[in-house]
Copies of this chain bind each other. A is one copy, B any other.
């Protein structure tokens, strides 16, 4: 496992520049506090945004990324086919992928899941309590039994996602809903983690526990070294066959 994974944070970086309420919370972008935390903890971090050439996701940048973090909301359907295909291919090759909050509706996440990824939602600034249901999982490392986010948008079940390979967190909302908010998947050789919190109008990404989860997820999702597949057609049997 890579000792020092190289992380690329992809942020659409639109609402922070277009909406005052969001700019007030994230003046340098939603990616800024995440990037700072990961760098402070020794990771190599790069930022890419929707308005960069090729959305900032060139072949070179993806090849140099061990883990890609994705935050998107308003431009999901403007991300080009080519980039979706390119990111998908790179995940199947082994790059880790962490989808944050509204990234559940991104084209790349829906492509990875094979479902609609629809869910219930409500934005009335309610309390979210994130419970750890897999206390031995590396993504829960260093947490207590739960942590609270004072104000958040609600995402509720039933969410149209495949059953996760491992369910790490379940959220309780004061409005009466629950949500599977930390979900692990394997796709090809790449590890995928969905993490629910992080609506743009709340200071969620300044909260220590939330940042710790993202850090843990990066460590967990970093690729393992594995032999490449040279050929798929195996004309020569591995054993002598009596025919």
* Residues of A that sit less than 8 Å from B by CB: 1, 92, 94, 111-116, 118-122, 124-127, 129, 131-138, 140-145, 154, 156-160, 162-163, 165-167, 170-178, 180, 185-191, 219, 223-227, 229, 232-243
Contacts and interface: CB of A to CB of B under 8 A. Distances in A.
A136 B225 contact: no
A180 B135 CA distance: 14
B141 A226 contact: yes
Contacts of A238: 129, 175-177
A87 to B, nearest CB: 12
The 3 closest A-B pairs by CB, nearest first: A176-B238, A175-B237, A136-B189
A243 to B, nearest CB: 6
B113 A243 contact: no
A175 B239 contact: yes
Given A157-B170, A176-B172, A142 B225 contact: yes
Given A141-B226, A156-B234, 20 more contacts: A1-B138, A92-B115, A115-B188, A122-B233, A122-B235, A126-B241, A126-B243, A135-B226, A136-B190, A154-B234, A162-B162, A163-B166, A165-B166, A171-B178, A172-B172, A172-B178, A174-B237, A174-B242, A176-B237, A178-B178
